[in-house]
A and B are shown apart, each in its own frame.
Chain A
Amino acid sequence: MYEHLETAENRDSLKRVVVDPVSRVEGHGKVTLLLDADNKVQQARLHIVEFRGFERFIQGRPYWELPVLVQRLCGICPVSHHLAAAKAIDQLVGIDPENLPVSADKLRRLLHFGQVLQSHALHFFHLSSPDLLFGFESDIGKRNIIGVLADYPDIAVQGVKLRKYGQEVIRMVSGKRIHGTGAIPGGMNKALNKAERDYLLADIDQIISWSVQAVALVKKVHCANLPYYDEFATIRSNYLGLIKPDGALELYHGGIRANNAAGEAIMDHVDYCRYNEFIHEEVRSWTYMKFPYLLALGKEAGWYRVGPLARVNNCDFINTPLAEAARLDFKAHSPEAMVHSTLAFHWARLIEALHCAESIKELLHDADLLGGELVAQGEKRYEGIGVIEAPRGTLFHHYQVDENDIVTKANLIVSTTSNNQAMNESVRQVAAEYLSGRELTEPLLNNLEVAIRAYDPCLSCATHAVGKMPLQLELLDAEGRLLDKLVKHSDGGIERV
């Protein structure tokens, strides 16, 4: 691996290059490289420069506000926070997942499938396809969704409509695209009516067809560039996520499965309410984001990856036929038990999007969505833990409340935090294998961003004030003097200053 590039020994004598912020990811992160006189990379780090303070935001609030409030933590996966919070709050009102009313469980699953579908579609078609279709070092002016719309109009429009469809699923289930109140303590606040169901059914076959085509596209791109795609930013890691009792892919509720790089079980079907017993988080001085690891393996070897690659690697099968066929194809392309290619995140992501589309169709034909008991009640508890598989990976919400129903303690482990060490490892692999010794240019530095984007990290939140996100590249000499600086302005213009 490339751990030796986390901290260089002779830092004061090295040149520093900063990629700030990393573009086409959510939030504000930066990459710093320290180079020696021969442009050899001696240190590479991905930093998260915003302290999010999620827990402080939640503490002191009445628990019943949380399903709505936590949606504001993140502008791109509000439904994931909504559902993780809802699962935790179910426990606060005495309802364990197996006691949630059947209709409520299915409505939440439909909501979640809509969320994962739209998120995966956005990431692939909007944020990643420009790199994959045009090349990592292609003209920056073309590497964007408009470039894709111009050269691959059918693909780009399908991406827009897949995203829109997922948003419509969310709107039908929760009443609004955002700030919806679909999930409430112990259940859901409404069923679908027939008009809403028929509205969603009208397009679902088209959505499945486009999802199949998307999987074929990403497979074609990946396999056309072997072995490069299997080696770029690739690291051998542990993988963690939820799993169904029968070993099938699971996104909403299941036990924890963690496998090692050889595909051997580290733990299986473990109750996620015990997560504190097997996951710890390490703090490092140079970044706000923590580094989770499996306690049993220790800090050095216990880090793991979550998200589509982990889930598709970890599951024994997928319970929808087209996605299962795609999974078998995906696994067959690699000679190893686990697919370790970081760029294979894209392929796995679209297999999941297809699974979501198939699952949405199956659920829409289920009469339980149209009525039945929606809310269950139980005995109040003082602690609740909710875990789901968000688009980017396993998401933990853990709350404690007092006798007045006020949250006294909150702990969140978001998916991107779990991938922190892995993203850093991928950055170091790219820095060492593709950048070291070469003159740095924007196309070359985009390789670093491609590696990070494969994880679809959500580094921040929903703030978006216009004009706050310029891209700067700085090159400093050994004394810290500025040698060169490139600034990409918010209007897209690039200036050497």
Chain B
Amino acid sequence: MPKPVLIFGYGNLSRGDDALGPLALAYIEGHADLASVDLLDDFQLQIEHALDLEQRALVLFVDASVNCNGAFAFAELTAAKDDSYTTHAMSPAAVLAVYQTIKHQPPPPCFLLSIKGEHFELGEGLSAEADGHLAEACQFLQRLLADLDVAAWRCLLSP
């Protein structure tokens, strides 16, 4: 039986700042009560991850992003058919759309924590900038984990 909350960090640990998602997950593993939380990591999102959303009350995706304005951004996701349908790596919104299409029901409440990354070369470690962004994001994660509630999370959305 899956736990009600899923936190899904994705990225490649050996691709510079692409490691931000898995590193945030590692932080959670060491700093949070996981009684009601499943952690999942993968290189990238794919169609079968729609099935990981089954029987969840709340889902958080954590990823590196080049498009953040600040150190991180926190947004609620809606299912959307976007261009990522045509790649080996889907967006979280596209995964939600697959869930909706397969299950014929809306997905559970899903959120995305994007952490700003700069450099993504094979063999690189985390950049100094991304390391700072990760620290800020982890502080924010503590706030999310302190109250695993949809309404509470909605109050924390980035402007």
Contacts and interface: CB of A to CB of B under 8 A. Distances in A.
A112 interface: no
B66 A466 contact: yes
A466 B67 contact: yes
Which of A52, A73, A127, A464: most chain B CB closer than 10 A? A464
B158 interface: no
B51 interface: yes
B81 A52 contact: no
A462 B15 contact: yes
Contacts of A143: 86
Contacts, number: 134
A167 B88 contact: no
A57 B122 CA distance: 7
Contacts of A156: 101-102
B43 A75 contact: yes
A177 B89 CA distance: 16
A26 B12 CA distance: 15
A126 B91 contact: no
A52 B12 CA distance: 14
Given A160-B98, A178-B43, A466-B66, A144 B13 contact: no
Contact of B47 (A26, A163, A179, A471): A163
Which of B51, B91, B101: most chain A CB closer than 10 A? B101
Interface residues of B, number: 41
Nearest to A470: B83
B114 A160 contact: no
A46 B146 CA distance: 51
Given A78-B43, A163-B46, A461 B85 contact: no
Which of A53, A118, A462: most chain B CB closer than 10 A? A462
Contact of A145 (B83, B85, B89, B122): B85
Interface string A434-466: 000000000000000000000000000111111
Contacts of A463: 12, 15, 18, 120, 122
Given A57-B122, A72-B12, A462 B43 contact: yes
Contacts of B67: 466-467
A478 interface: no
A285 to B, nearest CB: 23
Interface string B52-84: 000000000001111100000000000001111
B87 A24 contact: yes
A490 B12 contact: no
A53 B121 CA distance: 10
A280 interface: no
Contacts of B110: none
A146 B85 contact: yes
Contacts of A465: 17-18, 64-66, 117, 120
25 contacts: A72-B14, A78-B43, A126-B47, A127-B88, A143-B86, A144-B85, A144-B86, A145-B98, A146-B98, A156-B102, A160-B51, A160-B102, A164-B51, A178-B41, A178-B43, A461-B15, A462-B12, A463-B122, A464-B12, A464-B43, A465-B120, A466-B66, A466-B91, A467-B67, A488-B83
Interface of B: 10-15, 17-18, 41-44, 46-48, 50-51, 63-67, 81-89, 91, 97-98, 101-102, 114, 117, 120, 122-123
